[in-house]
Amino acid sequence: MIPAPSTPSRALPAGHLPGQPLSALAPMQDVTDLAFMRVMAHYGAPDYFFTEFFRVHAQSRPEKHIVRSLVENRTGRPVFAQLIGEEIPHMVRTVQDLLRYPVAGIDLNMGCPAPKIYKKNVGGGLLRDPAKIDELIGRLRDAVPGLFTVKMRIGFDSTENYERILALINKHGVDLLSVHGRTVKEGYRSEVHYDFIGTAARTVGRPVLANGNITSAAKASAVLAETGAAGVMIGRHAIRNPWIFRQCRERFAHTAVFSPTLADVREYVDRLYRETQTPDIPEAAHVAKMKKYLNFVGQSVDAEGRFLHDMRRAMTEAELFAVCDRHLLTEPAKTFADEPYPGIIARPNCETPTESCSLDTVTA
């Protein structure tokens, strides 16, 4: 029996629609920056945003480009600042630095599965050491007067510590818990263990967000029904389908759910290109960045993966947009598939733990 939280609960920021399950865009390194949040807000923002992680160590200072997603946030939705690290004085110093910015709260990363991260006992590496978690979240809780939240996987290579860690979440009055229902060692490819998310939803005294393979509004409803979670956190499938949060709200309200066409997707590609354009980005780098997003988008364009095949070969802006026009505007009224087509895998693939939590060598 896990004891309930002993501290009074703090109110979370209100969602878009009172009474509906919450929604959040999952933090994703090199993705959930200011530009991407702006794009998401255009198509239907989640209730909450989370930054990419601020990496904390003795020499670290909050990365300027991530700070921008806090101070220049015009989405109208709250942004939580995520930290990854384990050295308590530096974590506390970083919290104090970040609290000077308009943060909705401070979030601790206890899930990143990249070997170079977990080998330093941070991110998912922390899940091996409940005593360390007890100390770290206790000290962070003391340092954060407002909302303090945690995002975790269900274990490192097994789930043996899971209930012990959930007890620590309660002990320290963590205000919101996001659970990616896989162990670190399971990376991205295994089934998601929604039953473990259900255990958290039943035993943690504060709201729990269910995370992992929430591919559509229908899947969000099914996962909420199965787990009893307070809401959903969605990552890769929001890159693929930026309408997903709007669709969730429509489905939760039992109203008609928007169904984007390939022409809508073509407009999304334009918007992403414009928003990610900076004065100093060389064309080749910009095209390469776009291809990382389009790897996800392509999972729902055609069942044979032809768009992905052609898109991956584009080297210039003109080639990339020619591919997009050919595949997205030949049949502009065709529906963009609600779920990824079976067997169409996003590459660089996010399903094998590699060296870093980024789209280049993805992991988290």
Ligand X SMILES: Cc1cc2nc3c(=O)[nH]c(=O)nc-3n(C[C@H](O)[C@H](O)[C@H](O)COP(=O)(O)O)c2cc1C
Binding residues: 82, 151, 180, 235-236
Distance between CA atoms of 348 and 291, rounded to whole angstroms? Answer: 10
Least Å distance between CB 11 and ligand X?
A: 23
Whether the CA torsion 89, 94, 95, 100 is positive or negative: it is positive
Distance between CA atoms of 242 and 252, rounded to whole angstroms? Answer: 17
Instruction: Give the CA-trace dihedral at 176, 178, 184, 188, to 10 degrees.
Output: -170
How many residues interact with ligand X (rule CB under 6 A)?
27
Interacting residues with ligand X between 191 and 250 (CB under 6 A): 211-214, 234-237
Start-end of H helices in the chain: 34-44, 64-71, 88-98, 115-118, 130-143, 162-171, 194-203, 217-227, 236-240, 244-252, 262-276, 283-297, 306-313, 317-328
Nearer to ligand X, 232 or 328 (CB): 232
Nearer to ligand X, 27 or 260 (CB): 27
Largest CA distance in the chain: 61
Element (H, E) at 80: strand 79-84
Nearest to 80 by CA among 54, 55, 106, 98: 106
Nearer to ligand X, 32 or 75 (CB): 32
CA 293 to chain centre: 14
Mask for 12-41, x = binds ligand X (CB under 6 A): --------------xxxx-x----------
- Residues annotated catalytic, as ranges: 112
Least Å distance between CB 30 and ligand X?
A: 6
Known binding-site residue numbers for FMN: 82, 151, 180, 235-236
Mask for 122-161, x = binds ligand X (CB under 6 A): -----------------------------x----------
Interacting residues with ligand X between 296 and 355 (CB under 6 A): 350
Nearer to ligand X, 53 or 273 (CB): 53
Contacts of 74 (CB under 8 A, 6+ apart): 38, 41
Least Å distance between CB 152 and ligand X?
A: 9
Interacting residues with ligand X between 82 and 101 (CB under 6 A): 82
Least Å distance between CB 331 and ligand X?
A: 28
Give DSSP secondary structure letters for 329-362. Answer: SSSTTSBPPSSPPTT---SS-TTS--SSSSSSS-
Nearer to ligand X, 33 or 302 (CB): 33
Least Å distance between CB 184 and ligand X?
A: 11
Q: Would you tell me which residues interact with ligand X (CB under 6 A)?
A: 26-29, 31, 52-53, 82, 109, 111-112, 151, 180, 211-214, 234-237, 350, 357-359, 362, 364
